[in-house]
């Protein structure tokens, strides 16, 4: 199981301008940016100072594994009840601060590129997981409006069958009653409504489709009041922001207590320079349609390249998963080349899941050249992108094998500007010093 002491946070920075957005006059903000703080940052109000660096490294690895596995197991076991789709939750690397309602209430919510629905725990809540902040009360908001069953947003929800009952369904007052199940069996159940959503003074989005969860369960953390889906589906924040959501970028700095991550939207997005390379964003139908899928052609270690021989999209890019999860056969070959290139004695870490580790005593003198070949975009990674210190003495290869869904995780993305362009259907990368962004 996942470690559930999820302590994380993200802080939203305010732009200097206020843009009011209205669905009726189509005045959209042209761009704004949000600063994120990693869950393990001491700046996070939920930082657990008694955890060691190795506890955090261990937890991050377990979350990455779990995230990939959940996806791979989606059609089995208890989820056989599942009718249409599976939803893939974030491992909880980042939280974002989001305001909901009128007057606005500010809450921390998981930022998740692997799912779509935006939801909060709402009162009354017969079954909520505990949270520190008060529950959101739709009755105290003048802008909350429930949506009827049969409405377009209600029909955009994935369908689930729970104990013979098909969701979404019509509630007692004809409201849209939803059930939203994640791959790890966490779920939220409640009423679909529209509500005003805002990010400080930077941007506000009235009439955002929003789930008011009255029965929620799973591996959430008491510090987060809900979840913000940033996937490609109709109900995600990205999709509901209109044009400004069609382009977004981030630049993840190496972990340090003081650095923040910028999530930029619209015109604030700016990755540029000679080093920019782009790879197609591959759209898949059905349950994969929310994900940001790229095609990984191969990986070079030193002078040797392992090819996947694939071209149709085989890996999800995700800012919320820590480690990179490779298909097992590819992983084995890459690991073998890495061992050979490093040549030092391996350090055996008793408690997995890291597989290839070295103690700093035989510290690695020469890290090999390491390139990731996406279709059209070759990325040359630095050692910090593929090795990760898990304690003062031990450093480990930051990739793992999975029989589930391969994921290009956030360690591999450190010090790259990463831009998602949903209209041009491409993801671009540029090597950048993200601490200077
Ligand atoms: C903080 O971390 C320590 C060590 O892992 C753990 O025992 C403790 O329960 C954690 N505290 C909270 C509030 O999560
Ligand atoms: C998403 O929205 C588009 C355009 O409004 C619509 O054609 C499509 O059917 C919607 N998708 C789902 C899954 O409802
Ligand atoms: C990427 O690298 C591969 C292998 O070194 C090479 O064959 C290919 O031409 C390169 N592609 C681009 C777009 O630079």
What would the pLDDT profile of 97-114 be if each residue is shown by its tens digit? 788 999 999 887 777 787
Report how far ligand 3's centroid is from the alpha carbon of 375 (Å): 9
Superfamily holding 273-436: Acid Proteases (2.40.70.10)
Q: Which residue, chain included where needed, has tokens 């490609």? A: 232
Cα–Cα distance, 64 to 183 (Å, whole number): 13
Tens of pLDDT, residues 173-232: 999 999 998 766 678 999 999 999 988 777 889 999 999 999 988 655 555 678 888 899
Pocket lined around ligand 1, Cβ cut-off 6 Å: 5, 48, 50-51, 55
For the CA of 234, the closest atom of ligand 2 is: 1
**Is 112 known to be catalytic?**
yes
Decide: 218 and 90 in contact? Cβ < 8 Å: no
| Closest-lying ligand 3 atom to the alpha carbon of residue 378 | 1
For the domain made up of 17-263, the CATH class stated in words is mainly beta
The one catalytic residue in 40, 86, 184, 318 is 318
CA distance 386 to 337: 13
How many CB atoms are located within 10 Å of the residue 182 CB?
24
CA–CA dist 279, 430 (Å, integer): 12
Q: Residue 373: pLDDT above 80?
A: yes
Q: Which residue has the higher pLDDT, 54 or 371?
A: 371
Distance 359 CA to ligand 2 centre (A): 52
What pLDDT shows up at residue 431?
Answer: 94
Q: What's the whole-number average pLDDT of the chain? A: 79
Please, are residues 328 and 403 in contact by the beta-carbon 8 Å criterion? yes
Q: Indicate the helix (H) or strand (E) that contains 198.
A: strand 187-199
Q: What is the DSSP letter of 353?
A: S
Nearest CA to ligand 1 atom 10: 48
**Ligand 3 interacting residues, C-beta cut-off 6 A:** 305, 373, 376, 378
Q: Is the pTM of this model over 0.85?
A: no
Lowest-confidence segment of 49-58, 102-111, 163-172, 376-385 by average pLDDT: 49-58
Task: Domain ranges for the chain, please list them.
Answer: 17-263, 273-436
- Whether the per-residue pLDDT at 285 is higher than 80: the answer is yes
Question: Would you say the CATH fold of 273-436 matches that of 17-263?
Answer: yes
Best of 234, 235, 240, 289 for a ligand 2 pocket test (most atoms within 8 Å of beta carbon) = 234
Ligand whose nearest atom lies closest to the CA of 299: 3
Q: Are strands 399-402 and 261-266 parallel, antiparallel or unpaired?
A: unpaired
137 is catalytic: no
CB atoms inside a 10 Å sphere around CB 197: 25
> Given 112, 116, 184, 415, which residue is catalytic?
112
**Dist. CA 73 → ligand 1 center (Å):** 30
List pLDDT tens digits, range 31-73. 776 656 566 666 554 566 777 767 777 767 666 665 555 444 3
Q: How far is the CA of 373 from the centre of ligand 3 (A)?
A: 7
Ligand 2 atom with the smallest distance to the CA of 158 is: 13
Q: Nearest bound ligand to CA 239?
A: 2
State the distance from the centre of ligand 1 to the C-alpha of 52, rounded, in angstroms: 10
C-alpha 28 to ligand 2 mean position (Å): 21
Q: What beta strand segments (E) does 68-114 contain?
A: 94-100, 105-112
Place of tokens 């009354």: 124
Atom of ligand 1 nearest to the CA of 7: 14
pLDDT band per the 50, 70, 90 thresholds, residue 15: very low
β-pairing, 119-121 vs 203-217, is parallel
- The ligand minimizing its distance to the Cα of 290 is 2
């Amino acid at each position: 199981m996942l470690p559930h002491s999820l302590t994380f946070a993200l802080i939203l920075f305010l732009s200097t301008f206020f843009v009011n957005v209205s669905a009726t006059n189509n005045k959209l903000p042209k761009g704004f940016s949000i600063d994120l703080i990693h869950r393990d940052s001491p700046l996070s109000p939920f930082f657990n100072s008694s955890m060691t660096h190795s506890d955090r490294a261990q937890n991050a690895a377990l979350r990455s594994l779990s995230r990939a596995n959940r996806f791979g197991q989606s059609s089995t076991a208890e989820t056989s009840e599942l009718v249409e789709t599976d939803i893939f939750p974030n491992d909880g690397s980042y939280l974002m601060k989001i305001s909901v309602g009128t007057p606005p209430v500010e809450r921390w919510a998981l930022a998740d590129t692997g799912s779509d629905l935006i939801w909060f725990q709402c009162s009354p809540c017969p079954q909520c997981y505990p949270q520190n902040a008060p529950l959101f009360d739709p009755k105290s908001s003048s802008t909350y409006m429930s949506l009827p069953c049969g409405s377009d947003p209600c029909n955009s929800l994935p369908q689930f069958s729970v104990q013979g009952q098909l969701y979404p369904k019509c509630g007692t007052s004809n409201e849209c009653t939803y059930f939203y199940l994640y791959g790890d069996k966490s779920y939220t159940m409640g009423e679909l409504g529209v509500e005003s959503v805002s990010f400080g003074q930077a941007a506000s989005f009235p009439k955002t489709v929003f789930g008011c969860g009255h029965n929620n369960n799973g591996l959430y953390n008491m510090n987060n009041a809900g979840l913000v889906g940033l996937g490609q589906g109709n109900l995600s924040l990205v999709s509901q922001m209109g044009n400004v959501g069609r382009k977004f970028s981030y630049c993840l700095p190496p972990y340090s207590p003081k650095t923040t991550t910028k999530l930029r939207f619209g015109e604030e997005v700016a990755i540029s320079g000679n080093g920019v390379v782009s790879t197609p964003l591959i759209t898949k139908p059905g349950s994969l349609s929310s994900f940001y899928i790229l095609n990984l052609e191969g990986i070079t270690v030193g002078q040797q390249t392992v090819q996947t021989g694939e071209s149709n999209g085989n890996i999800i890019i995700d800012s919320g998963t820590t480690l990179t999860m490779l298909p097992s056969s590819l992983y084995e070959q890459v690991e073998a080349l890495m061992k050979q290139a490093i040549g030092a004695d391996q350090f055996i870490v008793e408690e997995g899941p890291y597989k290839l580790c070295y103690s700093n005593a035989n510290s690695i003198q020469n890290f090999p050249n390491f390139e990731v070949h996406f279709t059209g975009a070759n990325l040359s990674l630095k050692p910090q992108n593929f090795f990760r210190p898990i304690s003062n003495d031990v450093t480990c290869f930051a990739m793992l094998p999975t029989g589930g869904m391969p994921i290009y995780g956030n360690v591999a993305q450190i010090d790259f500007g990463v831009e998602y362009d949903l209209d041009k259907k491409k993801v671009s990368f540029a090597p950048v010093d993200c601490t200077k962004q």
